Structure 1
Amino acid sequence: MKKIFITITGCNHYMGYGVFRRKMELVLKKEPDNEYDREAIRAELPGIGKVGYVANSTHTVLGDTCSAGRIYDKIGKKAHAKVVLITDRGVVARVKG
């Protein structure tokens, strides 16, 4: 799998951006029954739980990172990612292949 970078957003609705550190491992889980987004992928920190979602809007995707819609069919029900950058607008992570 080529390098895929994503933006984790919506963190202010959960634990905020202060919980993230570079090189942290994230678990990505599809939410096919999400009433707001059929391509929703939630981001979880092991032992903590849901901390946000993979961005799926041109307003929330940072730079050239991929939206949830672009990676939805490229991952299984669950995938892993590693935090590479933390900003006040989102967390950039690399999907592990």
Structure 2
Amino acid sequence: MTRIFFTITGTNHHYGHEFFEPNMTVKLIKEPDNEIDKEAIKVELEGLGHVGYVANSPYTVAGESYSAGRLYDKIGDTAEGTVLYVLPKGVLCFVNEDNIVDYEDIDRQ
């Protein structure tokens, strides 16, 4: 199956990104009431809480990552992802397979 990648951004507004490590599990939570971005997806870590957001700008999305807008309808209200790489300008992750709503949609894109 095709992996869906996403980038965590905004970590500098919380705890930074230095503590992220490959294989860490992150929780994705949709924020439909977010006044700045109706497609916002908050990222949390167990024990720390809110650590950033799924990138939703061409300036913050790394490589082949999905923006929050592209990812929004592919997951439920919450989902889990796994850290792949820690980069200077973000944390590259993928959505865990069992959290994808419809793989057929992804394969057609």
TM-score bucket (shorter structure): over 0.9
Shift of 1:88: 1.3
| Partner of residue 103, structure 2 | none
- For the residue of structure 2 that corresponds to 1:37, the secondary structure is coil
Unaligned 5+ runs, structure 2: 98-109
Q: Give the letter for the 2:38 counterpart.
A: R
Aligned length: 97
Which protein has the larger Cα radius of gyration, Structure 1 or Structure 2? Answer: 2
Higher strand share: 1
| Partner of residue 89, structure 1 | 89
Q: Give the letter for the 2:42 counterpart.
A: R
- For the residue of structure 1 that corresponds to 2:73, the secondary structure is helix
Q: Give the letter for the 1:81 counterpart.
A: G
- For the residue of structure 1 that corresponds to 2:70, the secondary structure is helix
Unaligned 5+ runs, structure 1: none
Matched residues, percent identical? Answer: 53
**Distance in 2, Cα, partners of 1:4 & 1:65:** 7
| Partner of residue 20, structure 2 | 20
| Partner of residue 47, structure 1 | 47
**Distance in 2, Cα, partners of 1:66 & 1:13:** 22
Could you state the TM-score of these two structures normalised by the residue count of structure 1? 0.97
Q: Detail structure 1 runs of 4+ shifted over 4 Å in the superposition.
A: none
RMSD: 0.9
Could you state the TM-score of these two structures normalised by the residue count of structure 2? 0.86
